[in-house]
Amino acid sequence: MAAHLKSDRRRVYFCAVGLRKCAFSHCISLCRCCVENKSGRIPRVKRCKTALAILALLSATFALADDFKTINGKEYKNAKVTRVEPDGIVITFSGGIAKIPFIELSAEIQKKYGYDLGTEAAYAAKQREQQATALGTEPHFAGEYADKNFLNGQAVFQMSLEQSGNDVSVWFSTGYNDGHGCSPEATGTGKVSAKGIVEFTFRDTSKNFGRGRIARAGDGIVVSFKTTHISDAQCVKLYGQKIRLEGSRKDEKEQQSATPRAEREL
């Protein structure tokens, strides 16, 4: 009986994540990369090596130094990406630590690090909601916003927002630069939701109407429309999804001057 137990006994050893072959003929490594027993050898399980290869590749992506240049011409030499966030990348370089917003990087770099405009808007809204909760204030939307290169430079989209507490008044206009087609102006009203997003309804001068959503994105906003009644189909082509509008510098200064000093220091 003792001899029988001895012959069937297996020894269990730790190995370096399955990369070193066990030196004993009867062993079972805990990562299952090398398994032998009395009945014969079991083929290697490749999942360990595959996982390690993926981790090594991801580590190399972040560890390698690289040069980054923003669309405004600012350069970061020998920089290493330490963290990727929905709205930008955090790097370390010779000058210290910096966060570069995705909107200041080329489309190639945005794609490389998985940038998505919708994800950024949701992330920004969540941050503003948390800040508003901490400060006991609503997210700030009032201001002038525009996209002067709307529809690949063919048109201009402008929006003006006025806010009192959670109530928001909306005005916007859009049209083609060469004057063809529809050039609607619209007004509407909305409220800031619990998620920190303005949900509004609108009616334009061509008697189209519908609803929309506005989310903050950095110094600008992201606007999405859904037309519920169409009188002039040419205008509807101008009401798209996830239209990014940048805030005017004048409006940013007014917002800063209206913000309490203690809040700005936070």
Take residue 64 and report the two structure tokens written for it.
């390698």
CA angle in degrees (0–180, nearest 5) for 38-44-45: 120
Q: What is the pTM of this model?
A: 0.46
pLDDT digits (tens, 9 = 90+) for 181-194: 889 999 999 999 88
φ, ψ for residue 182 (rounded to 5)? -90, 140
Question: Band of the pLDDT at 213, cuts 50, 70, 90?
Answer: very high
Q: How many angstroms separate the CA atoms of 210 and 227, rounded?
A: 4
- Which of the residue ranges 81-90, 130-139, 201-210, 236-245 would you say has the lowest mean pLDDT? 130-139
Structural element, H or E, at residue 74? none
> Where are the chain's structural domains?
2-54, 65-115, 135-265
pLDDT digits (tens, 9 = 90+) for 100-140: 999 899 999 999 999 998 888 888 888 777 766 654 556 78
Q: What is the largest CA-CA distance in the chain?
A: 98
Number of helices (H), then strands (E), belonging to the chain: the values are 8, 16
Q: Are strands 88-93 and 96-101 parallel, antiparallel or unpaired?
A: antiparallel
Report, as an integer, the average pLDDT of 237-250.
83
Take residue 18 and report the two structure tokens written for it.
């399955």
Q: How many angstroms separate the CA atoms of 219 and 242, rounded?
A: 15
Q: Are strands 11-13 and 27-29 parallel, antiparallel or unpaired?
A: parallel
Q: Are 165 and 187 a contacting pair, CB within 8 Å? A: no
- The class of domain 65-115 in CATH terms is mainly beta
Residue closest to 124 by CA, chosen among 212, 239, 244, 225: 244
Residue closest to 221 by CA, chosen among 140, 137, 167: 140
Fold of 135-265: Lipocalin (2.40.128)
Q: How many angstroms separate the CA atoms of 72 and 89, rounded?
A: 16
Q: Are 48 and 33 a contacting pair, CB within 8 Å? A: yes
Is the four-CA dihedral 110, 70, 215, 240 of positive or negative sign?
negative
Q: Are 156 and 175 a contacting pair, CB within 8 Å? A: yes
pLDDT digits (tens, 9 = 90+) for 214-239: 999 888 999 999 999 999 888 888 88
Instruction: Evaluate whether 65-115 and 135-265 have a shared fold.
Output: no
